[in-house]
Amino acid sequence: MKLLVTGGLGFIGSNFILKLLKNSKDFEIVNIDAELYGADHRNLSEIENSKKYEFIKGNITNKKFMEEQIKKCDAVINFAAESFVDRSISDANPFLVSNIRGAFTLLDIITKQNKRMIQISTDEVFGSLSTGTAIENSKFNPSSPYAATKAAAELLINSYSITYGSDVVITRCTNNYGPRQFLEKLIPKTIVLAHNNKKIPVYGLGSNIRDWIFVDDHCDAVYLALEKGKSGESYNISGNNEIDNLTVIKKILELMGKSDDLIEFVEDRPGHDLRYSMDSSKTINNLGWKVKSDFENGLKNTIEWYLQNPAILNNITKALESTPWKNSN
Tell me: do 167 and 265 sit in the same domain: no
pLDDT of residue 329: 31
Tell me: do 133 and 154 sit in the same domain: yes
Q: Which helix (H) or strand (E) holds 160?
A: helix 145-164
Asked if 33 and 41 touch (Cβ cutoff 8 Å), the reply is no
Tell me: do 256 and 138 sit in the same domain: no
Tell me: do 202 and 109 sit in the same domain: no
Residue 316 has pLDDT above 80, yes or no: no
The mean of the pLDDT values for the chain is 94
Tell me: do 259 and 231 sit in the same domain: no
pLDDT of residue 314: 77
Tell me: do 316 and 264 sit in the same domain: yes
Residue 3 has pLDDT above 70, yes or no: yes
pLDDT of residue 67: 98
pLDDT of residue 306: 95
* Residue 216 forms part of a structural domain: yes
Residue among 146, 223, 235, 306 flagged as catalytic: 146
Residue 304 has pLDDT above 80, yes or no: yes
pLDDT of residue 271: 84
pLDDT of residue 310: 86
Q: Please give the tally of structural domains in the chain.
A: 2
* Residue 286 forms part of a structural domain: no
* Share of residues in the chain with pLDDT > 70 (%): 96
Tell me: do 76 and 167 sit in the same domain: yes
Quote the domain boundaries for residue 25. Answer: 2-177+212-237
Tell me: do 123 and 88 sit in the same domain: yes
Residues 207-258: tens digit of each pLDDT? 999 999 999 999 999 999 999 999 999 999 999 999 999 999 999 999 999 9
* Residue 169 forms part of a structural domain: yes
Tell me: do 154 and 30 sit in the same domain: yes
CATH number at residue 63: 3.40.50.720
Residue 110 has pLDDT above 60, yes or no: yes
Tell me: do 92 and 201 sit in the same domain: no
What's the average model confidence in pLDDT over 176-192? 94
Tell me: do 201 and 309 sit in the same domain: yes
Residue 300 has pLDDT above 90, yes or no: yes
pLDDT of residue 327: 38
* Residue 280 forms part of a structural domain: no
CATH number at residue 266: 3.90.25.10
* Residue 287 forms part of a structural domain: no
Q: Is 154 a catalytic residue?
A: no
User: How far apart, in Å, are the Cα atoms of 258 and each of 157, 192, 283, 289, 320?
Assistant: 46, 12, 38, 36, 18
Residue 7 has pLDDT above 80, yes or no: yes
Tell me: do 194 and 224 sit in the same domain: no
pLDDT of residue 248: 98
Q: Is 146 a catalytic residue?
A: yes
> In terms of Cα–Cα distance, which of 77, 3, 15, 73 is closest to 46?
15
* Residue 113 forms part of a structural domain: yes
Residue among 82, 124, 216, 217 flagged as catalytic: 124
DSSP three-state, residue 289: coil
Asked if 12 and 38 touch (Cβ cutoff 8 Å), the reply is no
DSSP three-state, residue 195: helix
What's the average model confidence in pLDDT over 114-136? 97
Residue 96 has pLDDT above 50, yes or no: yes
Residue 323 has pLDDT above 80, yes or no: no
* Residue 308 banded pLDDT, cuts 50, 70, 90: very high
Residue among 33, 40, 86, 123 flagged as catalytic: 123
> In terms of Cα–Cα distance, which of 110, 98, 103 is closest to 72?
110
CA–CA gap between residue 306 and residue 202 (Å, rounded) = 21
Q: Is 223 a catalytic residue?
A: no
